[in-house]
Amino acid sequence: MTDLQIKGLTKAYGPDMTVLQGLDLTVPSGSLAAVLGPSGCGKTTLLRIIAGFLRADAGTVTVGGRTLTGPGTHIPPERRRIGIVPQEGALFPHLSVAGNVAFGVTDRAARRRRTEEMLDLVGLAGYGDRMPHELSGGQQQRVALARALAPEPALVLLDEPFNALDSALRAGVRADVRAALRDIGATAVLVTHDQQEALSMADLVAVVRNGRVAQRGHPQDIYNRPADPWVAGFVGDAVLLPGTAVNGTATTALGTVELCEPTDALAEALQGTVLLRPEQLRLTEPGEAVPAGTVTDIRYYGHDALITVTVDDLDTPVDIRIGGHVTLRPGDRTGIRITGQATLHP
Amino acid sequence: MRNALTRCVSALAVAALLLPLGTACGVGGEAGLVIYSGRNEGLIKPLLEKLEKSVGTKVEVRYGTSAELSAQLLEEGDKTKADLFLSQDAGALGALAKQGRLEKLPQPTLDKVAGQFRASAGEWVGVSGRVRVLAYNPSQVAKAPDSVRDLVKPEWKGKIGYAPTNASFQAFVTGMRVLDGDEATRNWLKGLKANDIKPYEDNLALLNAVDTGQVSLGLLNHYYWYEKVAEKGADKVTAKLHYLPGGDPGALINVAGVGVLKGSDHSAVAVKAVDFLLSKEAQTYFTDKTKEYPLASGVTSTVPGLPPLESLKAPEIDLGKLDSLQETLAMLREAGMV
Amino acid sequence: MTTARAPWVLLAPACLAGAFALLPLGYLAVRSLERGLGFAWGVAATEGTALLLGRSLGLAVAVVAASLVLGISLAWLTVRTALPGVRAWSVVATLPLAVPSYVAAFAWLSAVPELAGFTGSAVALTLVSYPYVYLPVAAALRGIDPAQEEASRSLGHGPVRTFLRVTLPQLRPAAAGGGLLVALYALSDFGAVSLMRYDTFTRGIYTSYRASFDRTPAAALSVVLVVMTVALVALETRTRGRRGHSRTGSGTARPAVPVRLGRMTIPALAWCGAIVAAAVVFPLATLGYWLAAGNLAAWDPAGLVNTAGVTLGVAAAGAALTTALALPVGVVAARYRGRTADLLEQAAYAGHALPGITVALSMVFFAVRYANPLYQELPLLVCAYAVLFLPVAVAATRAAVLQSPPVLEDVARSLGRGPLRVLRDVTVPLAAPGVAAGAALTFVVCMKELPATLLLRPTGMDTLATRLWTETGVGSYADAAPYAAALILLAAVPSYLLGKQRT
C-alpha cells in the first residue's frame, strides 16, 4: 500500500520568503488527491519536495511507510519511485514515443511489453515510433502519463498537466488520465489552481493557502461545507449573507436556512456570515411574505445562467444560478427563496 | 536532429582521445643529443644534419625563439632534457650563464674564438658574427656619416630608416648605453625621433626602402645586404654599406652562440658538437649560407666584398652584458619608438 | 527557478576542470612572489604598466565594439531578412574564424603600411574575432519568438524601435558572452599587435621575457592581466543577469517572416560583401600573391600533407579534451547558478587572457616537477590547449544546456536515472549540437595556436602554425604561403559547418 503522509513540511527561500509553513497532508493508497491553491500558495514547492528536487527545511514525507524526506534523510529523486507528469508534458524531444515511455523501465526484458501496455492504457497503442513533435498536445500529455506510470511508481505527481490544452480537449484528457490512474490503482497527487479540475477529478481535495492546508476533504464537502469564506470563494461562486443562528437554523434577509452543523440549542443567538451557493437560491413570484429584489444583471452560459439581484434589505447584491431558460429582463422584480443547508462563519 | 557537425565532432573526438594515449605509451625512447635552437630551422637544419653525422649520436632539435627557449630552459632547471642551446644572440646565453645553467666549456674549445666573442667565464662561445652597419643610397648620399651619433643632426631629418622591433637594433642600443651611458643614449634616441626617423617592419623592408630611395640611410645588420646581392646580383642593388670606424657604437659586432647545459647526460658529445660548430665546415656553412662572419680562428669568409673581421673597428663591449634589454626597451618606449 | 546543489558526479569533474584551468595562476603566484611581494608590486605598479593597460583596454574596447556592430548586423541580416543569398552569407560570415590573427595582420600591413599601430591592430583583430559575436547572436535570434516582435509592432513601434527595445535586449546575454571572448582574445593576442607594432600589455609581457630573460617581472605583469580578466568576467556575468534560464513554452515558435529589405537590399549586400572581402577574401588573396611570387618547384607536398595531418590530430585531441573538461563546468554554470558555479566559471576564464607563452611556461613548470614523463609529449600539449581554450568550450556548452528546459532533467531523475546517467541520456544528447559547435570552435583555435605549441610540442613535431612561423622567420613568405593557405582552408571546414548549423 502506498499512502502518502506529509507532516509539518516547512520550506523558506530566504528570511522573508517562507513558502511552506508546517504543511500536513495524508493521501490514502490508491486515491487521487488534488492540491488546489492560487499561484504562489506553495503547491509547486510542495510537489518538488515530494519528488525530491528540493530539500525541505523541516517535516517529513513518507510514501507507503518509507520516509523519503525527513530529519537527516533526503532520498534522491531517482530512488523515490515517484513519477511526475510535468506541465506541457516535457517529453524528451530526442527520443521517440516508445523511447520516452521506456526511459524509466529498468528491466530490459520487460521494457517492450511494458511500453506497449502503457501506450495501450493511455489509448495510444501503435504510436511508439512517432516523435514527440508529431503528436498533438493532448497526445503528448498522455504519453507523459504513460512515461510516468511505466516504472510502476509508488506515487504519481501531476503538475498542472492540463494547463496547456485547449478547453475542448481538456475534459477528454482529464477523463482519460483519471481512468488510467484508476485502472492501475495508483496513488496520485494532482497540483492545480483550477477548482473545476480539482473537484471533478479528485477523490480528495486539499486547499492550500499560504503554505498550509486550509481544508482537506471530499470534493462535495469542500464545496458544500467550506471551512471559511476564503475557501468558499476559491472553490466556487459564493453568496455571503449576514445572519443570526439559533438552534441549528440561521435567519437572514432572505429568510431562514438550516445549518450543516447544528449550533448549541441552549446558547444565545450567534451572529455571523451565512454562506450559500448561488444554485441554492431560487426565484419565485414576488409576494407579501417573500424576500424580494430587482434584477440588475443577467449572465447567460447556455447550460445555466447567473442572475444578479439587488435585494431590498441588503447592501450587496446576490447571485442566483438558474437553469438554461431565462425569461427575466433587467429591472424586473422577483422573489427569492433559499433551499438546502448553509454554513455559518463567525 | 543529429546534424553533420555533431556527427563529425563525435567521430573526431573518439579518434583524438586515442591519439595522445597512443603516443604517451611510446614515451621514453632512446634519447640522443637534444639541442634547443633559437636559430631558424630553415637556416640551420642542414648543418645540424651534418653535425649529427660528425658527432655520431642521434640529434633531436627543438626550434623556438632564443628568448622563449631561454625562459623555457630556466623553467626546466636541472630537469631539462636539453644538452645544447644554440642562441640567436649573446644576451640569452648570458642570462642562462648568470643563473648557472651553463657548463664551462673546455679551454681548447674556447681558444678557437677570440676573447671578445665568448663569455669571459667560458660558459658559452660565439659561432657566427653579425656587424651593425649603415646602409646608404649613393644617389642621395655622397658620403655616409662615420658615427651613428651624427644621425641626430638636422641634415638627416626625414632621411633615416630603422627596424625598431628588431632584436639586433635593440642590442645595438643596449651596447650604446654601455658605451655612452643612459643619459646620452636617451637624448640620442629622442634626437632621432625628432629627426623623423622612419620605422620599418624588419631589416629586409628597411634595406628595400634604402634601395628604392624612400630613405637615404638605414641602420641594419651587414648580412642582409650580402644576401640581397647574392640573390639579385651586385648591379641590381643600389644601396651600399658603410662600416663605421673608430669603435663607434654603431659598429657593434654581436654573435650567435652556443652553450652546453649543466647536468647534460651527453656533455662529452655536446662539447664535440660545439667543436663541430667551430670547425671549418660549419663556419664556412654560416658564411656561405647566412653571410655572417665565421668566428673560429683560421676560417675566413668567402663572401665577395665582405671586409675581413680583423679590419673592423668594433666597440669593446662584453657581449654577455647585453642582457639588460629591459631598460633599453623602456627607453625606446619613452622616446615613442616601439 | 529554484537552486539545488549540484550533484557530486558533476561538481567533482567541474572542480577538477576549474583547478586545471587555475594551473597558470598557481605558476604566476610562485614566480611573481619569488622575490617578494615588494618586487612584484614594484614591477606591476608603475606608470608604464598603467599606460600599457590603458592601451590594451582601449584596443579591447574598440575591437569589442566593432565586433558587436559587425556580428549583430550580420546575424540580423542573415537570420531575419530576405537578403539575396542569405544561406551562403550565413556560412561565409563564420569563415574569418579560420584566419590566424598574424596572417590577417600581415596581409593588412603589407597592403596598407600606414595602418600599423592602433588602427591596424583593431582592424585585424576585429576581422578575425567578430564571429565570436556573430555565432551566438545568430543562434539567439533564431530562438526569439517572433510573436513578441509582432506584438511590439502592433503596439505602434516601428521595426527599428522594435529591434532596439524588444529584440536587442534579448540578444544581450548572447552578445555579452561573445563580446567577452572577443575582449579576452584582443587582450591575449600577440601575433597581430606585434606585427602592427602596437604596444599592448601582452606585448609587454613578451618583451619582458625577451628583454630581461627574467620570468619574475613577466609573471607580475601577467597577474595584472588575470585581475583584469576576472573583472571582465564579473562584468559579463552581471550583464547576463540572473535570467540565464531557459525558455519554457511548448517547443518551437513559428519561424519569423523574413524582413524585406526593399531599397536597402543593395546597401545590405554591400555591407556583407565588404566584411567578407576584408576578413576572408583579402587575406586569401595576399596568400595567393605570395604563392604566385614563390618558386613552385620548392614545394614539399608530402611534408605539407604530413604537417596538416599532425595539425588536425593535435587540434582534434585538444578540442576533445577541452570539451570533455568544459562539459561539467558548462552544465553546472547553466543549471546550478550560485556562488560555486560563478567561481567555477571564473576559474575557467581566469587564464584566458594570458599570453600563450605564460600558459606554456606554467605547463613547463608543473610538468617538469610533477609529470616529467609527459613533458614535451603530446598529452601535455593537449592539456595546454585545454587550459588556453576552456572558456570557448564552456561558453558554448552553457548556452547549449540552457536551450533545453530543466524540467526534462527532473523528469529523468524521477524515472530512476542518477545524475550522471541523466547527463549522459538527456542533458548531453539535447545539448549535443551546441556542444559540438563549441568543440568545432575549439578545434579551430587549437589549429591556429602558436606560442604554446612551440614550447610544448614533442621535439621534432610540426604543426601548420609552427611551419608558418619557421618559414616567415627567415622571410620566405612564398614558402610560408602553402602552410598558411592549408591552415586557413582546413580551419575553414569546421568554421563552415558552424555557419551551416541551425540551432
Q: What distance in Å separates residue A231's CA from the closest CA in chain C?
A: 28
Question: Mean pLDDT, chain C, as a whole number?
Answer: 84
Q: What distance in Å separates residue C425's CA from the closest CA in chain A?
A: 9
In percent, the amount of chain B with pLDDT more than 90 equals 46
Q: Parallel, antiparallel, or unpaired for β B198-199 and B293-294?
A: unpaired
- In whole angstroms, what is the distance from residue B250 CA to residue B240 CA? 16
Cβ distance B63 to C316 less than 8 Å, yes or no, reads: no
Q: Where in chain B is the domain with CATH 3.40.190.10?
A: 4-129+253-308, 130-251+326-334
Q: What distance in Å separates residue A206's CA from the closest CA in chain C?
A: 23
Cβ distance A53 to C2 less than 8 Å, yes or no, reads: yes
Encode burial over B205-216: b for 16+ CB neighbours within 10 A, e otherwise.
Answer: bbbbbbbeebbb
- In whole angstroms, what is the distance from residue C361 CA to residue B71 CA? 8
Q: What pLDDT, in 10s, does the model give residues C258-281?
A: 777 778 889 999 999 999 999 999
Cβ distance B71 to C361 less than 8 Å, yes or no, reads: yes
Q: For residue B138, is pLDDT > 60? A: yes
- In whole angstroms, what is the distance from residue B278 CA to residue B128 CA? 9
Which residues on chain C are in Cβ contact (under 8 Å) with A78?
413-419, 422
- Reading the block at residue B151, the C-alpha cell is 644621425
Q: What distance in Å separates residue B96's CA from the closest CA in chain C?
A: 8
Find the helix or strand (DSSP H, E) in which B259 lies.
strand B253-261
- Reading the block at residue B192, the C-alpha cell is 632621432
The pTM assigned to this predicted structure is 0.79
Cβ distance C413 to A76 less than 8 Å, yes or no, reads: yes
- In whole angstroms, what is the distance from residue C465 CA to residue C461 CA? 11
- Reading the block at residue B245, the C-alpha cell is 670606424
Per-residue pLDDT tens digits of chain A, which is 346 residues long:
589 999 999 999 888 888 999 999 999 999 999 999 998 888 989 998 998 888 899 999 999 999 999 998 888 888 889 988 988 788 888 889 999 999 888 888 889 999 999 999 888 999 999 988 888 888 998 899 999 999 889 999 998 888 877 777 788 888 888 888 888 888 999 999 999 899 999 999 999 999 999 999 999 999 999 999 999 999 999 999 998 888 888 888 888 888 887 666 556 678 889 999 999 998 888 877 788 899 999 998 888 899 999 988 888 899 999 887 888 889 888 999 899 889 888 8
Is the CB of residue C402 less than 8 Å from the CB of residue C246?
yes
- In whole angstroms, what is the distance from residue B143 CA to residue B153 CA? 15
Cβ distance C415 to A147 less than 8 Å, yes or no, reads: yes
Residue of chain C nearest A99, judged by CA positions: C425
- In whole angstroms, what is the distance from residue A93 CA to residue A140 CA? 11
Cβ distance B325 to C199 less than 8 Å, yes or no, reads: no
Tell me, what's the pLDDT at C423? 85
User: Dmax of chain B from CA atoms?
Assistant: 78
Cβ distance C497 to B5 less than 8 Å, yes or no, reads: yes
Cβ distance C2 to A52 less than 8 Å, yes or no, reads: no
Q: What pLDDT, in 10s, does the model give residues B239-292?
A: 999 999 988 999 999 899 999 999 888 889 999 999 999 999 999 998 888 889
Give the best residue of C216, C322, C459 to mutate against chain B (max B CB count within 10 A): C459
Find the helix or strand (DSSP H, E) in which C320 lies.
helix C301-335
Tell me, what's the pLDDT at A199? 93
- Reading the block at residue C475, the C-alpha cell is 622571410
Q: What pLDDT, in 10s, does the model give residues C104-153?
A: 988 888 788 788 889 999 999 999 999 999 988 988 888 777 767 766 66
Q: What distance in Å separates residue B293's CA from the closest CA in chain C?
A: 18
User: Dmax of chain C from CA atoms?
Assistant: 69
Give the best residue of C414, C417, C427, C435 to mutate against chain A (max A CB count within 10 A): C414
- Backbone φ and ψ for C233, nearest 5 degrees, come out as -65, -40
Q: What distance in Å separates residue B102's CA from the closest CA in chain C?
A: 15
Half-sphere exposure of C466 (CA within 13 A, CB side): 25
Cβ distance C415 to A53 less than 8 Å, yes or no, reads: no
One of 2.40.10.10, 3.40.190.10, 3.40.50.1580, 1.10.3720.10 is the CATH number of C8-241+269-501, namely 1.10.3720.10
Tell me, what's the pLDDT at C244? 42
- In whole angstroms, what is the distance from residue C105 CA to residue C278 CA? 11
Q: What distance in Å separates residue A137's CA from the closest CA in chain C?
A: 9
Q: Nearest by CB to C433, which of B6, B28, B62? A: B6
- Backbone φ and ψ for B173, nearest 5 degrees, come out as -65, -40
Cβ distance C364 to B72 less than 8 Å, yes or no, reads: yes
3-state SS of C441-491 is HHHHHHHHCCHHHHHHCCCCCCCHHHHHHHHHHCCCHHHHHHHHHHHHHHH
First and final CA of chain A: distance in angstroms?
41
Tell me, what's the pLDDT at B110? 93
Number of Cβ within 10 Å of residue A76's Cβ equals: 13
Residue of chain A nearest C426, judged by CA positions: A92
Q: Which residue has the cell 447571485?
A: A319
Which residues on chain C are in Cβ contact (under 8 Å) with A92?
408, 411-412, 426, 430
Cβ distance A83 to C416 less than 8 Å, yes or no, reads: no
Q: What share of chain C is helix, strand, coil (3-state, %, to 5)?
A: 80, 0, 20
Cβ distance A148 to C2 less than 8 Å, yes or no, reads: no
In percent, the amount of chain C with pLDDT more than 70 equals 90
- In whole angstroms, what is the distance from residue C182 CA to residue C226 CA? 16
Which residues on chain C are in Cβ contact (under 8 Å) with A80?
414
Is the CB of residue C299 less than 8 Å from the CB of residue C489?
no
Query: Would you give the distance in Å from CA A230 to the centre of its chain?
Result: 15
Query: Would you give the distance in Å from CA B243 to the centre of its chain?
Result: 19
Q: For residue C254, is pLDDT > 70? A: no
Cβ distance B20 to C379 less than 8 Å, yes or no, reads: yes
Which residues on chain C are in Cβ contact (under 8 Å) with B6?
432-433, 436
Mean pLDDT of C184-201: 86
Cβ distance B325 to C208 less than 8 Å, yes or no, reads: no
Is the CB of residue C390 less than 8 Å from the CB of residue C322?
yes
Tell me, what's the pLDDT at C43? 75
Count of CB pairs separated by less than 8 Å, B with C: 177
Q: Which long-range contacts (CB under 8 A, 24 or more apart) does C299-308 make?
A: C299/C482, C304/C482, C304/C483, C304/C486, C307/C462, C307/C463, C307/C464, C307/C467, C307/C483, C307/C486, C308/C464, C308/C486, C308/C490
Which residues on chain A are in Cβ contact (under 8 Å) with C410?
51, 53, 77, 84, 86
Residues of A numbered 104-123 whose beta carbons fall under 8 angstroms of chain C's beta carbons: which are they?
104, 106
CB-based contact, A99 to chain C, within 8 Å: no
Residue of chain C nearest A134, judged by CA positions: C251
Which residues on chain C are in Cβ contact (under 8 Å) with A86?
407, 410-411
Give the best residue of A78, A133, A145 to mutate against chain C (max C CB count within 10 A): A78
Residues of A numbered 125-164 whose beta carbons fall under 8 angstroms of chain C's beta carbons: which are they?
133, 137, 147-148, 150-151, 153, 157, 164
Q: Which residue has the cell 519528488?
A: A51
- In whole angstroms, what is the distance from residue A89 CA to residue A130 CA? 15
Question: Which residues make beta-bridge pairs with B253?
Answer: B131
3-state SS of A95-147 is CCHHHHHHCCCCCHHHHHHHHHHHHHHCCCCCCCCCCHHHCCHHHHHHHHHHH
Q: What pLDDT, in 10s, does the model give residues B233-250?
A: 888 899 999 999 988 999
Q: Parallel, antiparallel, or unpaired for β A204-209 and A212-217?
A: antiparallel
Q: For residue B171, is pLDDT > 60? A: yes
- In whole angstroms, what is the distance from residue C369 CA to residue A101 CA? 53
Contacts of B268 (CB under 8 A, 6+ apart): none
Which residues on chain C are in Cβ contact (under 8 Å) with A48?
2
Give which of B210, B150, B197, B181 is closest to B335, Cα–Cα: B197
Q: For residue C155, is pLDDT > 70? A: no
Is the CB of residue A307 less than 8 Å from the CB of residue A326?
yes
The verdict on domain B4-129+253-308 having CATH code 3.40.190.10 is: yes
CB-based contact, C414 to chain A, within 8 Å: yes
Cβ distance A90 to C412 less than 8 Å, yes or no, reads: no
One of 3.10.150.10, 3.40.50.1000, 3.20.20.70, 3.40.190.10 is the CATH number of B130-251+326-334, namely 3.40.190.10
Q: Where is average pLDDT lowest: C222-226, C312-316, C324-328?
A: C222-226
- In whole angstroms, what is the distance from residue C386 CA to residue C17 CA? 9
- Backbone φ and ψ for A150, nearest 5 degrees, come out as -55, -40
Cβ distance A78 to C250 less than 8 Å, yes or no, reads: no
- In whole angstroms, what is the distance from residue A150 CA to residue A84 CA? 11
Other chains touching B, judged by 3 or more CB pairs under 8 Å: C
Mean pLDDT of C352-364: 87
- In whole angstroms, what is the distance from residue A339 CA to residue A239 CA? 13
Give the best residue of C46, C110, C210 to mutate against chain B (max B CB count within 10 A): C210
Cβ distance C364 to B34 less than 8 Å, yes or no, reads: no
Q: Where is average pLDDT lowest: B241-255, C57-71, C463-477?
A: C463-477
Cβ distance B28 to C373 less than 8 Å, yes or no, reads: yes
Q: What distance in Å separates residue C424's CA from the closest CA in chain B?
A: 14
Number of Cβ within 10 Å of residue B124's Cβ equals: 29
Count of CB pairs separated by less than 8 Å, A with C: 82
Which residues on chain C are in Cβ contact (under 8 Å) with B9?
319, 436, 439-440, 443
Residue of chain C nearest A153, judged by CA positions: C415
Q: What is the DSSP letter of A2?
A: -
Q: What distance in Å separates residue C234's CA from the closest CA in chain B?
A: 31
- In whole angstroms, what is the distance from residue B9 CA to residue B15 CA? 10
Mean pLDDT of C11-30: 90
Q: For residue B29, is pLDDT > 50? A: no
